[in-house]
Chains A and B, each alone.
Chain A
Amino acid sequence: MGSSARKKKEKKKDFQKVKLKVGKTKAKPDNFTDTSFKAKSIVVNQQSLSTSAPTSSAQFEHYLSLASSSRSDTQRRDALAYLTSRLSSRPVNEPLPLPTSILLPKLAPLILDGTASVRTQLLKFLRLLPSSDIGDRAEAMLLYIRAGMTHLAVDIRTDALSVMEWMLEVAPEDVVACPGGWVKTLKCFMSMMGWALSIGTTKWTAATKVSFGKAGKTFPRQLMVLAQFLRAGLVEPHALPPTASRQALFPLTDVNIHMIPTSSNAYAHLNLFGTPRDEEGEMYVDREGRQRVFNKLFQTAVEKGIENAKKEAGEPGRAGAVLAKVLKDGMGDFNGVDDTL
């Protein structure tokens, strides 16, 4: 039969020896698997190879970029830890390896970082920065702090509060006086503590903190930070120059007013070159302006909130009392006449 002959042939074919030919590549075996592949890009694990060790400043820069842009959270944390140790271990009078103006914008986004260890490490690092440099960057920092304070994740909110605390310690004047620093931040506080009212809400008494915030532990802390913030903004620093000395220096009274300003961009509040600001983004340089805005927008809500906090007693009650005292100090001398409108 034809078919059986064919089958025989087929069977034989399996065991036939492949002939090798001169000048030809060796025939591939049957079970050969092609393992070659094509890639659009090549990733090199070690990016640079050099015989000399990197200088310490180069290393600092490297770790800075790692801390700000690495994908892995441990790497970020470790890089931050390295930076912290570098700063803490440097001699007293030596300047920073990189100026604060470079460090802060790079590291500020880490306030919103998803990993808790990175955020705590960041706070440690921030505390090491020279306090005089912070004031000028307050606006940029506040952007991230505010974002952190209203963040959906509770931990980020708490950590943002710590950063806020640190800012208030270091540069209280700048925090409250920078563009948007007063009204926007206050609004953040309001919404964070659930004291804000929606414009469109009716007279419903919404059950506070339905889902937002673990009221128990963080609430007193929020109250404390708010008190600190209000103190910075509303309470007058009581270092008034004695009048006697003024007379002694008769021709030179108020001389520091007429001198060249020491702060950068002294006329920023005039906003000569920027885009026009609204009420929220406005700079409130002096205490009266802040008082006025606070009275107009927030005072009732804050007072109501304090009432409730006092009723809770315990830790929130105590914090509420502190806040109430600050409020009394700050707003006590406010005449209440709204002369702007």
Chain B
Amino acid sequence: MPKKRVGALEKVDADLPNLQYKIRRDPKSYSEDFLNQYGQYKSQRDIFMASPSTATSAGIVSFRDLIDFVAHVADCFPEDTAEFPEDLKSILTSYHAELESELREKIVGSLVLLRRKEIIDSANLLNTLFPILVATPSKTLRSLLFSKILSDLRTSNSKSTNHRLNRTMQTALFNLLSSDKTSQKGIWAVKITRELWKRQIWTDAKAVEIMKEASLADNEKVIGGGVRFFLGGDKEREELDDESSDEEIVDIGKLKHQHGINKKTKKKTKTLERAVEKVKKHEKKKKAPHPLNFSALHLLHDPQGFAEQLFSKHLQNTKSKLNLDQKLLVLQLVSRLIGLHKLTVISLYSYFIKYLTPRQPSVTSFLASLAQATHSLVPPDALEPLVQKIANEFVSEASASEVASAGLNAIREICVRQPLAMNDTLLQDLVMYRKSKDKGTMMAAKGLLSLYREVGADMLKKRDRGKTATMGLKSGSIKDRRFGEEEAGGIEGLELLEEWKENERKRKRVERGLPEEVGSDEEEDDEQDWDAWDVESDASSDSGGWINVESDGEIEISDSEDDKPAVKKAKTQASKSEAEAKDSNEKTELEKEEQKISKLATTKILTPADLAKLQELRLEASLSKAMGGNKVQTARQKELLARHADDALTAEQIEGFSKLRKSTKEERVALAREGKGDRSEHKSTQALRRDKKDSEGKSSTNKEKSRKKNFMMTLGKAKFKQKRSLVQTKRVLQGHVERSKRGGKRGNIGM
């Protein structure tokens, strides 16, 4: 008798994975087995439904395994398993609290699996999971659901934005927040929205609207979440974007080479293919246009109403339950909104009054918020008492130096935004602190002084005004600004860019041996410009890092040259003609207006590279202007100038040099060590430098060579000193005298 063939399933009882594998390979042949198992699933489900809390799946085939099995092969038998997803959903929705955790997780996982197999759609899945996320008391289930919901939203938005799904989800979140303002459940809406915002999946106004609703909720956690989103959500998004963009990139050439040499296997071929795909994807991503994302603060629908509501609900309201930190956050947001959108919330300024004392905890944050809330359209009457109070409370000889410098910095930041908030007696008083012995106070006072030299030199004492300001006042080019006056004009620094482009073009033409004048081949140049579309391209490789500072800081010196910006020339011309006659003045004024608005922006499209260059030039110009004759620039000055008007003001910036809290020793040591590189063993700087050069494979200097030379070989040269001629001796002595004057070999330039 021949040996009986034994089926695999008969050998091993209850081998669901095996059956699953077979079904996946050949669904039709195994449909009967599947139906049996599906029947088994149904009867187990009935058992479970009869008593959900007590049903244990202790048998050799548990309910859990069956669910898993059916979910995995459901796509092979769509008609038979039509009710399966509904079953799972109803089980999960009605019994999620009493289900045992493993079964619960399995059901959630199976639903997600069914979604991946596109048996159910995303909206269906999310509509099931989200209510449970909000309702369940179990922490593990919550975190599981949260991650599943997020990943599902991400996948369904990965190829193209799924607007419908996003809209339904956003509506659900919004309803969750608006239905019950006091409940803590809204935190999930905040979390989901923030995460999706961070990943740039939701970038529209609706998401911002959700967060706005959250900020106006009654629960502290929800409020905190919403407010934090507005304050930090965009930064987080940028950071993530940067992170993802500088992933490590594989060297494809190396891989291909290795593949050519090593043994060829399927696996290795596959890895190579995958690597190539990855690189291609990366390239594509790099080439893709940068998504134009507006910040959350800009997408707000009604900022004025929002700011007013926030202020009246959380800050002015005495019954508000927020603690100081949370209040500060809200205050930051309100002031940020006011500063950014130039809103008018007059009662906010009087609210500040009682917090402006040095004893107030985290007063620098209050000061920063106040400065942030100031803009050119705030009536000076509202600000003047505040400035006065800061000056009285903070800036005095008796107060600690940190306090004084914080106060001065705060006043400066307020006055940058609204120069009219200052009166001349107070200003002259404050400016006197520039003689202070404390560095922080001194710097702060100097900052204030330099600010008013620009914006209101006539308020300063005559001797404080400085050369440029005095000359400007005399010639009339500096006029005092009225309240509400706006400067007309186009893009700041555009004329600089135009000039730079002109120079570049000339340079290129000279390189090619052509005359400097622009010929008919202008088109060609433009094409090159388009090649240099990207910021990273060679044309603007010097855009990052160092900024060229003209060795002669006075920009006026080069005024005589003819490739100066047309604007300046026009200005000076205008000032001359002003002295001559009044009617001609009118005419030149018109001319000035015409010339001022450069043609560049209206005739050409600016590439990202152009914009980067523009920013760089703008910074450079403002730096050289601010420094005047002084060549030394500080990082602080640079940072001050580079700061965008939209950026938030932080308490650290108010604290300035002298921090109110003392730094710990570790911090100081770290600060001192910063930038010195790690010094593993004790060696002289020279030796370290030598080692570095050796490791780079560079050669030694002649001096080093001579030092290493055999002593006996140098004897002959040493004798030369005696044989020197008079001229040679003189040269040596002169050199010595010069060196000592200079202060050493390298000179003491910096001091």
Question: Which A residues have a C-beta under 8 Å from some C-beta of B?
Answer: 69, 109, 112-114, 140, 143-144, 146-147, 150-155, 180, 184, 187-188, 191-192, 194, 196, 198-202, 204, 206-212, 214
Contacts and interface: CB of A to CB of B under 8 A. Distances in A.
29 contacts: A109-B47, A114-B13, A144-B43, A144-B47, A147-B44, A147-B47, A150-B36, A151-B14, A152-B13, A152-B14, A152-B16, A153-B14, A153-B60, A191-B32, A191-B35, A191-B36, A192-B36, A196-B32, A198-B32, A200-B78, A200-B79, A200-B80, A201-B31, A206-B31, A206-B32, A210-B7, A210-B33, A211-B33, A214-B10
A187 B40 CA distance: 11
A150 B47 CA distance: 14
Contacts of A200: 77-80
B35 A198 contact: yes
A140 B9 CA distance: 29
A210 B39 contact: no
B543 interface: no
Contact of B10 (A140, A154, A201): A154
A110 to B, nearest CB: 9
Contacts, number: 107
B30 interface: yes
Given A143-B50, A211-B33, A152 B43 contact: no
Contacts of B166: none
Given A114-B60, A152-B13, A152-B14, A210 B40 contact: no
Contacts of A204: 28
B47 A143 contact: yes
B35 A210 contact: no
B58 interface: yes
B59 A113 contact: yes
B46 interface: yes
Given A211-B10, A214-B10, A194 B32 contact: yes
Contacts of A112: 59-61
A153 B16 CA distance: 11
Interface in B52-82: 56, 58-61, 77-80
Contacts of B13: 114, 152-155
Given A114-B59, A198-B77, A207-B29, A180 B39 contact: no
Contacts of B7: 210-211
Q: Taking chain A's interface residues, is the majority helix, strand, or loop, or is none over half, making it mixed?
A: loop
A152 B40 contact: yes
A140 B47 CA distance: 8
Q: Taking chain B's interface residues, is the majority helix, strand, or loop, or is none over half, making it mixed?
A: helix
Contacts of B58: 69, 109
Given A152-B14, A211-B10, A143 B46 contact: yes
Interface in B653-702: none
B36 A212 contact: yes
Of all A-B residue pairs in the complex, the 5 with the closest CB atoms, nearest first, are: A147-B43, A200-B79, A153-B13, A150-B39, A114-B60
A210 B29 contact: yes
B50 A140 contact: yes
Contacts of B56: 109
Q: For chain B, which range describes its interface: under 10, 10 to 19, 20 to 34, or 35 or more residues? A: 35 or more
B9 A199 contact: no
Nearest to B9: A211
B133 to A, nearest CB: 26
Given A188-B43, A204-B28, 14 more contacts: A114-B13, A114-B59, A144-B47, A146-B43, A150-B36, A150-B43, A152-B15, A201-B28, A202-B28, A206-B32, A212-B32, A212-B33, A212-B36, A214-B10
A210 B32 contact: yes
Contacts of A201: 28, 31
Contacts of A188: 39, 43
A132 B33 CA distance: 37
Contacts of B28: 201-202, 204, 206
Contacts of A202: 28
Nearest to A145: B43
Nearest to A148: B43
A207 to B, nearest CB: 7
A152 B9 contact: yes
A140 B51 CA distance: 10
A152 B80 contact: no
Contacts of B61: 112, 151-153
B46 A211 contact: no
B8 interface: yes
- The residue in B44, B47, B59 that gathers the most chain A C-beta atoms within 10 A of its C-beta is B59
Interface string B17-35: 0010000000011111111
B157 interface: no
A236 B19 CA distance: 42
Nearest to A209: B32
B615 interface: no
B470 interface: no
Contacts of A206: 28-29, 31-32
Contact of B43 (A140, A143, A196): A143
A180 to B, nearest CB: 7
A201 B78 CA distance: 11
A206 B15 CA distance: 22
B432 to A, nearest CB: 69
B304 interface: no
Contacts of A199: 79-80
B326 interface: no
- The residue in A109, A140, A144, A211 that gathers the most chain B C-beta atoms within 10 A of its C-beta is A211
A149 B435 CA distance: 98
- The residue in B9, B40, B44 that gathers the most chain A C-beta atoms within 10 A of its C-beta is B40
Nearest to A139: B50
Contacts of A214: 10
Contacts of B607: none
B59 A210 contact: no
- The residue in A112, A180, A206 that gathers the most chain B C-beta atoms within 10 A of its C-beta is A112
A143 B361 CA distance: 69
B39 A198 contact: no
Contact of A211 (B8, B59, B79): B8
A192 B36 CA distance: 7
Given A147-B43, A194-B32, A210-B30, A152 B79 contact: no
A112 to B, nearest CB: 4
B344 interface: no
Contacts of B32: 191, 194, 196, 198, 206, 208-210, 212
A152 B11 CA distance: 12
A324 B39 CA distance: 26
Contact of A109 (B9, B34, B43, B59): B59
A24 B80 CA distance: 78
Nearest to A204: B28
Nearest to A157: B36
A152 B66 CA distance: 11
B37 interface: yes
Contacts of B9: 152, 211-212
Nearest to A280: B42
B566 to A, nearest CB: 79
Contacts of B37: 150, 152
Contacts of B50: 140, 143
A152 B58 CA distance: 15
B371 to A, nearest CB: 56
Contacts of A196: 32, 35
Contacts of B34: 198
Contacts of B8: 211
Contacts of A207: 29
Nearest to B69: A152
Nearest to A185: B43
A210 B5 CA distance: 12
A180 B46 contact: yes
A147 B33 contact: no
B10 A187 contact: no
B43 to A, nearest CB: 4
A189 B61 CA distance: 20
A184 B44 CA distance: 13
Contacts of A208: 32
